[in-house]
Amino acid sequence: MYELKHIKGRTWTIESPARVGLYQLDDTRVVLIDAGSDKEAGRKIRQVLDRNHWQLEAIYITHSNADHIGGCRFLQDRTGCRIYAPGIECAFTKWPVLEPSFLYGGYPFKALRHKFLMAQESDALELTP
């Protein structure tokens, strides 16, 4: 698990429970597409980056489910990368309590506030053209 797989050219994936995309900007800088499910996923992704001597520039979020944004906070804290998310997904990434609130229809009771529905908040910027 968390094995780097070359797709073509500068495009890679990190095989994990929630597959993470990786694109090489150049020999040393990369961006991720999504960031895994939690802090531990972020740690393992960081190990892949370190083994390849890559610097993380940004994370692009496809959608704000916790299994796609859970590693953002760890990676952002460790690398200083920027996080970009489209539209309302940006708000859900900044305020993860919105995810279970949206599913439940109100402020989620404690049983719904866990890592599978609620990632740690990340300082996301809105993805624009």
In tens, the pLDDT along 7-60 reads: 999 999 999 999 999 999 999 999 999 999 999 999 999 999 999 999 999 999
Count Cβ atoms below 10 Å from residue 43 Cβ, excluding itself.
15
Domain count of the chain? 1
Gap between the Cα atoms of 15 and 17, Å rounded: 7
- What range defines the domain where residue 50 resides? 3-127
> pTM for the complete prediction?
0.91
Burial-class residue 104 by CB neighbours within 10 Å (0-12, 13-18, 19+): middle
Summarize pLDDT for 57-110 with one digit per residue, the tens. 999 999 999 999 999 999 999 999 999 999 999 999 999 999 999 888 898 889
CB 75 within 8 A of CB 47: no
| Max Cα distance, the chain (Å) | 47
pLDDT at residue 103, as a whole number: 85
Gap between the Cα atoms of 93 and 77, Å rounded: 15
Gap between the Cα atoms of 69 and 62, Å rounded: 9
Gap between the Cα atoms of 111 and 93, Å rounded: 20
Q: Any idea what the CATH number is for the domain that residue 42 is in?
A: 3.60.15.10
| Residue 116: pLDDT over 90 | no
